[in-house]
Amino acid sequence: MDRKIGENIRALRKLNDLSQQKLADKLGISAQIVSNWERNCNSPSLQDTEKLAKIFSCTIDYLVNNETFYEMNCYLNQIKDKELRNYWYKELVRCKDSELKALQTLWETMKSVAVAQ
């Protein structure tokens, strides 16, 4: 299974301020199933993927294939301050893929400069 769908589900769930239980309730499934998706133990069905896309106001393709969102999510998870992390989640989810790639390049450059100092 492609690892990024679980990460994307987790990130989008948090972005929408939903607990696993609240998301499960919206989908008519158990919280354990949501947990399994997020931990990449299994994948949502096509029907559940369609429901997730509707809940998160995104396309199925974005949910399943957005590699850049997955990569940026990895960076965001390093931010300890929850309020700051949530701010960036909300801002980044609105970005086009090309903008996310540009931000990723900028971030990598900034990290390399900081390490060099």
Average pLDDT over the chain, rounded to an integer: 84
| Predicted model pTM | 0.63
Residue 36: its pLDDT value, please?
A: 97
Range of the domain at 91: 3-116
Counting the structural domains of the chain, the total is: 1
Is 50 exceeded by the pLDDT of residue 73?
yes
Residue pLDDT, tens place only, 6-58 = 988 998 898 888 999 999 999 999 999 999 999 999 999 999 999 999 998 88
Name the nearest CA neighbour of 56 among 22, 87, 98, 97: 22
CATH of the domain at 55: 1.10.260.40
